[in-house]
């Protein structure tokens, strides 16, 4: 679920915006409302907000000041996360290329257009969120086996696992032919270098990990020195049904 902050000083307009978004989106939740720039700053500093719908025509300190606050403090998690609304878009020229602005709509705003933009941003954010969850799970499993992330080979094997997990339809039965070249191209190295680094990291893992830990992790289905393929297949199977041998 994506959390949205609505910053609008007019209570009636704010209510209309909130109701429309709530009724016409599935993955976006109006998490908080702010009527002033000061309230908006308090919300982003204290609560979990992903997207911001910002009225630039706020009284006293305007929405422009809110954008300046983000820029000055380099709060990068809100880059490309603001949809702005303004009565005079001629005044927005200097913020059009601001990294925090995703879109600017001229008033009167067509809420269906705003929702379309919000949904596009939410899809991107949810995709990134899912990717991070998978990457963290892979790291968790490699940590359990005592893989050392100071080795390039450990990072490469993590990428290999993610590649197979993300594209189970490709099979990747032959690592030499199908997988090492993908990682090699990504890092501008030779497939053989990637393979050697992965093998070195796995050998080091076997030396550093207790034999009983290895045997238990692999459900006693391998020797005390599992191969790279055994490691990858076991981790993928522990992560769920996306991958089938």
Same domain, 149 and 120: no
Our count of domains for the chain comes to: 2
Q: Please, which residues bridge with residue 6 across strands?
A: 33, 53
Q: Is the same domain home to 92 and 149?
A: no
What is the C-alpha separation between 114 and 21, in angstroms, rounded?
A: 9
Greatest C-alpha distance within the chain = 71
Q: Are 34 and 122 members of one domain?
A: yes
- Residue 82: enclosing H or E segment and its boundaries? strand 82-86
Put residue 136 in one of left, alpha, beta given phi > 0 → left and psi -120 to 50 → alpha. Answer: alpha
CATH number at residue 217: 1.10.10.10
In this prediction, residue 223 has a pLDDT band, given cuts at 50, 70 and 90, of low
Pick from 47-51, 57-61, 91-95 the range whose average pLDDT is largest: 47-51
What pTM does this model have?
A: 0.62
| Domain presence at residue 245 | no
Helix H or strand E segment including 51? strand 51-55
Smallest Cα–Cα separation from 53: which of 7, 86, 18?
7
Higher pLDDT, 91 or 5: 5
Query: Is the distance from CB of 57 to CB of 11 less than 8 angstroms?
Result: no
Q: For residue 59, which of 13, 100, 8, 98 has the smallest C-alpha distance?
A: 8
CA–CA distance, 108 with 214 (Å, rounded to integer): 64
Q: Which neighbouring-strand residues pair with 52?
A: 5, 82
**244 pLDDT above the threshold of 60:** no
Q: HSE, CB side, 13 Å, CA atoms: give it for residue 166.
A: 16
**Which residues, listed in sequence order, are joined to residue 83 by a DSSP beta bridge?**
53, 103
In a domain, 133, yes or no: no
pLDDT band at 196 (very low <50, low <70, confident <90, very high): very high
- The secondary element (H helix, E strand) that includes residue 83 is strand 82-86
Q: Residue 86 belongs to what domain range?
A: 2-128
């Amino acid at each position: 679920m994506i959390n949205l902050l609505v910053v609008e000083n007019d209570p009636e307009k704010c209510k209309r915006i909130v109701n429309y978004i709530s009724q016409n989106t599935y993955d976006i939740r109006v998490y908080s409302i702010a009527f002033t720039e000061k309230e908006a700053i308090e919300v982003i500093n204290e609560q979990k907000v992903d997207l911001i719908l910002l009225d630039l025509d706020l009284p006293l300190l305007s929405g422009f000041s809110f954008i300046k606050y983000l820029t000055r403090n380099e709060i990068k998690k809100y880059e490309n996360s603001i949809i702005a609304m303004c009565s005079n878009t001629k005044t927005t020229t200097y913020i059009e290329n601001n990294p925090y602005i995703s879109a600017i709509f001229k008033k009167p705003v067509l809420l269906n257009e705003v929702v379309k933009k919000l949904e596009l941003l939410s899809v991107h954010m949810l995709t990134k969120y899912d990717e991070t969850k998978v990457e963290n799970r892979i790291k968790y499993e490699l940590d359990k086996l005592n893989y050392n992330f100071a080795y390039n080979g450990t990072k490469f094997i993590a990428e290999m696992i993610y590649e197979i997990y993300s594209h189970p339809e490709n099979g990747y039965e032959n690592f030499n032919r199908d997988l090492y070249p993908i990682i090699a191209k990504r890092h501008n190295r030779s497939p053989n270098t990637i393979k050697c680094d992965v093998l070195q990291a796995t050998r080091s893992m076997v030396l550093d990990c207790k034999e009983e830990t290895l045997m238990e992790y692999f459900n006693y289905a391998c020797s005390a020195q599992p191969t790279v393929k055994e490691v990858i297949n076991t981790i993928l199977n522990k992560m769920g049904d996306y991958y089938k041998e």
